[in-house]
Structure 1
Amino acid sequence: MNEKIAAETAAVAVPAQASSLPPGFHEMVDDLKSIVRGAHVRAQLKVNTEMIRMYWEIGRTILEKQGKERWGTKVIDRIATELRTEFPGQRGFSRSNLHYMQQLARTWVEPIVQQPVGQLPWGHIVSLMNKCETRPEQDFYAQRAIQHGWSRSVLDLQIKQRLHEREGAALNNFTLTVPEDSDVLREITRDPYLFDFTGLGGNASERSLEDALVARMVLFLTELGTGFAFVGRQYPLRVGGSDFRLDLLFYHVRLHRFVIIELKTGRAEPEHYGKLNFYLAVADDLVRDKELDGPTIGLLVAANRDGEVARYALERSGSPMAVATWTGLDREAQVSLPPAEDLARVADGVLREHGAG
């Protein structure tokens, strides 16, 4: 009987020992797990880099032989067969892939791993070779894909929407107002903004446009670019005895700046610039943290603009501002639009979720 009691006591004592762990034990284990995960990620990146290097070297070798020996397409078929036979467990040695490897070596003649494209997965690189027209375009999207961690589908979308032509194209006064940050601020603007995901055309009202953008906030944030966080719509500002409301207010987490977006479904007029300039002055005084946040950025997004009018308005403004255009669906495409009340209902749900006023 005493032996049975002793055994039961010992069995109970094991969990008691496990529960008396030293302080910080679980935090340390979490740190160790992070180290292991980081090693896994680095190992995967290393494997990918070596695979891209191998593909580039295969492509370069074939190109050199083709140039000297005048090989035809049948030789490429035979190479694919030989490689698949020798390495049956390794994918990637199809005839079409060998042609892509040649294209890779032909496009990037410098060592591939020393370039941004060499850090991308093979599927991303194939998209760059298939969808981009020039080497500068390919390098642009390769750099952005690495910088923002784009999936292949996002990369394809950005190429389709010709981001390289739109990024930084908005007219602005950043060089005059915030010269130290003008380059990076210019990069976060676009012209035109593509709002076709709203299902609205140029004849929509400003409230309908605002409703649709908020209802599709994830797509809107994707179009704005990396770093934007949604703060609210119709954001209230009280000045003296008057109340004002900002169309849309965002915060750029990387730049530590608020961004006010004013929407216009017509042409950008001088009074629109003046009103936005007023909003920026008030927001700098009442909204931003002067110790943590940089000056607020204003972005006027209109259906169209006059370049000369924009130049005068921006040059005279003391606050950093930019003006861009937006495009939506044409009239024929609007036949399949959801009812306006459906858009409003979804928008209200998004607002309740974010707690915006």
Structure 2
Amino acid sequence: MKKKKSNEKYNLTVSENKVVQSEENLFEELSELITSSRERALVYANSEMNLVFWQVGKRINDFILNNKRAEYGKQIVVTLSRQLEQRHGKNYEEKNLRRILQFAEIFGNYEIVVTLSRQLSWSHILALLPIKKKEALMFYAQKAASEVWGVRDLRKNISKKVYERTLIAGVQPVVANLKSVGEFKDPYFFDFLKMKSDFLEKDLESAILSDLETFIMELGKGFAFIERQKRMIIDGDDFYLDLLFYNRNLKRLVAIELKIGKFQAKYKGQMELYLKWLNKYERKEDEASPVGLILCTETSKEQIELLEMHKDGILVAEYWTELPPKKILEEKIKAAVEEAKERIERIKLLNE
């Protein structure tokens, strides 16, 4: 009988433990439910705020336009801001109300606003409004939404001229089997590596690997590191590719060669060999053919055009290890964009 009582006591303890564990699981489940609900509510609140701001801005813009009086428009904004702020809070103070009007004017399509508002907060919108070019603004808005950039990331990418550098890279004829070169830039900014002026290729490669996360951020979202000094045995000889990446958006391997100095025509043959080897031995069945990216401290535009490297799946871009002052940087990027546009026109004429 005593033995039986001991078993009953033991069984009761097990049962109690199960209840405690069940309660703990319930608590965790409820906590997760509340947390996810709060996150959804925050996203929903941000989205609703943007949509309300757009509708308010659109209504005021239409009202001013219908009256066709500029002075009246300035006056009504001041009056409305006071009234709205008094009833609905500081979101409608004059400075922000003018931003709301600008927001509604720039983003004229409500459906686009609905789509972007699912990912972008009002702080994102405020970071976008100072951008003068509509194409650049929409580029950053769509990138921030699709790649889930924080406000800090968005500001950083705007300051580093990601749009302009993507535009310059896009001047190169479309690489074989690639719908666009929008995943690439020209030039790339490697100022974070803090390289000395007399660095070697191996120093550059080592510095990149020691700060791989920042390097991948500069490459762009979708890149995943695979291997350094990828060994290839061809006819009994060893060949080594500097860096091998995979791009999830492109669904293909990306071979990167780092070069010091100006681009040379012989680099094409070297990269062609690497790409053909990768295509034969490393490419998976569900992947597209590999592409190559040759990074040089200076490109040779005419040589690259004449070599028609795009037909072999090869892109060439510059990299800068030091950034000039902001004003000079803007001038250099602007000049590069203009040169890129001229090259586009030349290519069009050649293809006619």
- Structure 1 contact 201–330 (Cα < 8 Å) conserved: no
> Does 2:277 correspond to 1:278?
no
Q: Check the 8 A contact 2:260/2:296 in 1, yes or no.
A: yes
SS of structure 1 residue aligned to 2:257: strand
1:267 to 262, 271, 287: 262
Could you tell me whether the CA contact under 8 Å between 2:296 and 2:318 is conserved in 1? yes
Q: Give the 5 Å matches for 1:100-179.
A: 100-111=99-110, 114=113, 116-119=115-118, 120-130=120-130, 132-167=131-166, 169-170=168-169, 172=172, 174-175=174-175, 177-178=176-177
Contact kept, 8 Å, 2:47 with 2:117, in 1: the verdict is yes
- Aligned partners of 2:247 and 2:61: how far apart in 1? 46
Note closer, same or farther for the CA distance 1:278–1:33 as it changes in structure 2 (3 Å cut): farther
Are the structure 2 counterparts of residues 84 and 36 from structure 1 closer, same or farther at C-alpha, using a change threshold of 3 Å?
Answer: same
Is 1:55 aligned to 2:53, yes or no? Answer: yes
Partner of 2:322: 329
Which residue does 2:347 correspond to in 1? none
* Comparing 232-241 and 154-163, the one that deviates more: 232-241
Change (3 A) 1:263 1:6: closer
Q: Give a deviation string over 1:14-63, Cα, whole Å, max 9, x none.
A: 33655999xxxx8xx99999887766555433322221121122223333
Gap regions ≥5 residues in structure 2: 326-352
Is the contact made by 2:193 and 2:207 (CA closer than 8 Å) also made in structure 1?
yes
Query: Which 10-residue stretch deviates more, 113-122 or 211-220?
Result: 113-122
Structure 2 partner of 1:346: none
Structure 2 counterpart of 1:298, from 289, 292, 301 = 292
Could you say what secondary structure the match of 2:99 adopts? Answer: helix
Does structure 2 conserve the Cα–Cα contact (< 8 Å) formed by 1:202 and 1:327? no
Contact 1:48–1:121 (CA under 8 A) maintained in structure 2: yes
AA at the equivalent of 1:79: L
Matched-pair contact (CA < 8 Å) for 1:258–1:295: yes
Amino acid at match of 1:121: S
Question: Residue 187 of structure 1 aligns to a residue in which SS?
Answer: coil
Structure 2 counterpart of 1:293, one-letter code? E
Seen in structure 2, the aligned counterparts of structure 1 residues 153 and 331 have a Cα distance that, compared at 3 Å, is closer
Paired residues, number: 316
1:62/1:293 CA distance change after superposition, 3 Å: closer
Call closer, same or farther: CA 1:72–1:281 in 2, change over 3 Å. closer
- TM-aligned CA deviation for residue 5 of structure 1: 8.9
Q: CA deviation at 1:159?
A: 1.2
How many angstroms does 1:93 deviate by? 2.4
Cα pair 1:301 1:324 within 8 Å, conserved: yes
Match of 1:79 in 2: 80
Counterpart of 2:101 in 1: which secondary structure?
helix
Residue 251 of structure 1 aligns to which amino acid in structure 2? Y
RMSD between aligned alpha carbons? 3.7
State whether structure 2 residue 291 is matched by structure 1 residue 257. no
Rounded to whole Å, the distance in 2 between the matches of 1:112 and 1:103 is 17
Asked if the contact 1:258/1:296 (under 8 Å) is kept, the reply is yes
Identify unmatched segments of 5+ residues in structure 1. 333-357
Q: Is the 8 A contact 1:173 1:321 kept in 2?
A: no
The aligned counterpart of 2:283 is 288
1:230 equivalent to 2:225? Answer yes
Question: Aligned pair 1:205/2:183, yes or no?
Answer: no
1:200 CA drift (Å): 3.0
The answer for the alignment partner of 1:241 in structure 2 is 236
Q: Quick check: 187-196 or 198-207, which moved more?
A: 198-207
1:155 Cα deviation from its structure 2 partner: 0.8
